[in-house]
Amino acid sequence: AQSVTQLDSQVPVFEEAPVELRCNYSSSVSVYLFWYVQYPNQGLQLLLKYLSGSTLVESINGFEAEFNKSQTSFHLRKPSVHISDTAEYFCAVSLVGDDKIIFGKGTRLHILP
Amino acid sequence: EAGVAQSPRYKIIEKRQSVAFWCNPISGHATLYWYQQILGQGPKLLIQFQNNGVVDDSQLPKDRFSAERLKGVDSTLKIQPAKLEDSAVYLCASSSDILSGNTIYFGEGSWLTVV
């Protein structure tokens, strides 16, 4: 069965600094990969997803993630964070041909002024 | 396009009482999910419906949790009797075709506190 590991439960970073949120998955077959964001007291929203094709995917608010098959990783990055990026970020995986999504435990991003 | 609607947003009950949560998915979405999100953890799938049939309920504590989607549209999740460890956010989600990589859309969640 597939699984997702988010190595950091919390990441503090200064405003306008770069950030990387790490995500590793395990699966013996092809996968789809997702990053979801959860702002305080809200539901989850899709940030970006990798289905196929280019291994670098981008979101409309400046985040990007790169699928690395050899390292089974899908790390999320942003070159310059803003206070509004304060949220919890969840990495998720589903097997190609399956309709279940498995979530990691989440990484809480703290933006320091 | 209206999103996934859930109610109530917040509920506080005593242990051993019962509670029900309602979800109306995005129009036309055949697949509906209920997830449980305990504080500090990622969402855990409780049950998945395809139209009005159950696809996966392997992680649903069936001695106290039940869910139905009678007409293949909206759904109800019930807990009876509730335990302290059921305190969590219950997220409903829907999708049209996850097999082709379509997105799962989440509601804002129903926050349950059991005291």
Please report, in angstroms and rounded to a whole number, the separation of the first and last CA atoms in chain A.
41
The residues facing B21 across adjacent strands are B77
Position B2 scores a pLDDT of 78
For residue B102, is pLDDT > 70?
A: no
Radius of gyration of chain B (CA): 13
- Which residues in chain A touch residue B55, judged by CB atoms under 8 angstroms apart? 99
* pLDDT at position B104: 87
Q: In CATH, what number is assigned to the domain containing residue A80?
A: 2.60.40.10
pLDDT of residue A7 exceeding 70: yes
State the pLDDT at residue A43: 85
| Over residues B88-100, mean pLDDT | 85
| Identity at B102, one-letter amino acid code | N
What does the pLDDT read at residue A27? 87
User: How far, in Å, CA of B73 to CA of A73, rounded?
Assistant: 36
Of B42, B50, B106, the CB nearest to A106: B42
Query: What is the domain range of residue A38?
Result: 3-112
DSSP one-letter string for A39-107: -TTS-EEEEEEE-SS-SEEE-TTS-EEEEETTTTEEEEEESS--GGG-EEEEEEEEETT----EE---E
For residue B50, CA distances in Å to A63, A81, B2 come to 32, 39, 20
What mean pLDDT is reported for chain B?
A: 92
Per-residue pLDDT tens digits for A34-63: 999 999 888 899 999 998 888 999 998 899
Predicted pLDDT of residue B98: 63
CA distance A50 to A48: 7
The answer to the question of residue B41 being in a domain is yes
Q: What is the pLDDT of residue A52?
A: 85
Give the CATH number of the domain where residue B78 resides. Answer: 2.60.40.10
Residue showing tokens 């159950």: B54
Contact B40 A9 (CB under 8 A): yes
Q: How confident is the model at residue B100 (pLDDT cuts 50, 70, 90)?
A: low
Number of domain units in chain B: 1
Kindly determine whether residue B4 and residue A43, on different chains, have CB atoms separated by under 8 Å: yes
Range(s) of the domain holding residue B19: 5-100
What tokens were used for A26?
A: 């395990």
Residue-averaged pLDDT of chain A: 92
Q: Is the pLDDT of residue A99 over 80?
A: no
**A113 touching B (Cβ < 8 Å):** no
For B16-65, write each residue's pLDDT tens digit.
Answer: 999 999 999 999 899 999 999 998 889 999 999 998 899 999 999 999 99
In a domain, B47, yes or no: yes
Is B114 part of any domain? Answer: no
Which residues does B104 contact at the CB level (< 8 Å), separation at least 6?
A: A46, A101, B33, B93, B94, B95, B98
- What is residue B1's predicted lDDT score, i.e. its pLDDT? 63
Number of separate domains in chain A = 1
